[in-house]
Amino acid sequence: MAVRPYWKGYLKLSLVTCPVQMMPATSENEKVRFHTLNRETQNRVVSHYVDSVTGKEVKEEDEVKGYQRGEDEYIILEDEELENVALDSTKTIDISTFTQRDSIEWIWLDTPYYLSPNDPVGQEAFSVIRDAMQSQDMVGISRLVITRRERAVMLEPRGKGIVLWTLRYGDEVRDEETYFEGIGDEKADTDMMPLIQQLIKKQTQDWTPKMVIDPVQDRLLDIINTKKKALKKPSKSTAKAPASSPAPNNVINIMDALKKSIAAESRTSK
């Protein structure tokens, strides 16, 4: 089944414009999801919005956004007002600034999307913008309204297309110095360094997506499949939960631990 575009609009650089479409670069559809049921009836439980004071259910047409300005005091904003906040960036990604790719640290990158031409006529303009950025190792900075919030976005050339990253707001990124200032100034032990480097070298592998598989999802699916089979049989069976790994002992001598690690790696590599 073809995936529907998440967003359609225009990519614009000065007088060059082309129609584009945006697709999420990641997916959570493969995750095991559960519904909340009534244990007695096994019917799904449905949630409703209720008035916090009267306890009565609130109809969808009566739901409205409110900004709290004081205790029990709110400024009401209608849907039309929210939709009209940033009209220019609702349907157009207008690249206003360029910067070196390596000047934007990883912590600012939020959610990735794939950006591609939405019309054969616009492919030439799209390619020109993409290749010009690629040739100078530049990325474009623009703004785009996503789910009623205007986000700063970064456009990075990638192969035939462009990866659009939403960027975190300035107040969302915490200063690393606040969290690292308590770390001492001790230098690494010169005797330990070669052992660590040797261990790193032995454990170095080429990247593969298998490094980030989710074993919990696999175990959940095993339990679900076991229960499915049990429903088809007269006798009931219960899926056993996987045995938990014993907690590691505290390591007192780091040098001894490193030597043991190197020795273990050498045995397994033979």
What letter represents residue 15's amino acid? Answer: L
Q: Is the pLDDT assigned to residue 118 strictly greater than 50?
A: yes
| Phi-psi sector, 162: left (phi>0), alpha (psi -120 to 50), beta | beta
Is the CB of residue 114 less than 8 Å from the CB of residue 23? yes
Q: How far is CA 68 from CA 13, 65, 76, in A?
A: 39, 10, 9
Instruction: Please choose, from the candidates 238, 208, 210, the residue with its C-alpha nearest in 3D space to the C-alpha of residue 224.
Output: 238
User: How far is the C-alpha of 98 from the C-alpha of 4, rounded, in Å?
Assistant: 30
Top-confidence residue, 225 or 50: 50
What's the rounded mean pLDDT across residues 214-227? Answer: 78
Per residue in 152-173, pLDDT (tens digit) is: 999 999 999 999 999 998 889 9
Q: Mean pLDDT over residues 84-89, rounded?
A: 59
List, in sequence order, every beta strand (DSSP E) within the chain.
Answer: 7-13, 16-24, 65-70, 73-77, 92-94, 97-100, 109-117, 138-146, 149-158, 161-167
For residue 3, give the 3-state DSSP assignment. coil
So what's the pLDDT on residue 88? 59
The residues, ordered by sequence, that sit 6+ positions from 191 with a Cβ below 8 Å of its Cβ are 255
Q: Bridge partners of 112? A: 165
pTM above 0.85, yes or no: no
Return the structure tokens found at 108.
Answer: 């600012």
3-state SS assignment for residue 203: coil
**pLDDT tens profile 88-97:** 567 899 998 9
Closest among 90, 80, 98 to 144, alpha carbons compared: 90
In the chain, the largest separation of any two C-alpha atoms, in whole Å, equals: 72
Tens of pLDDT, residue by residue over 230-244, are 877 665 555 555 555
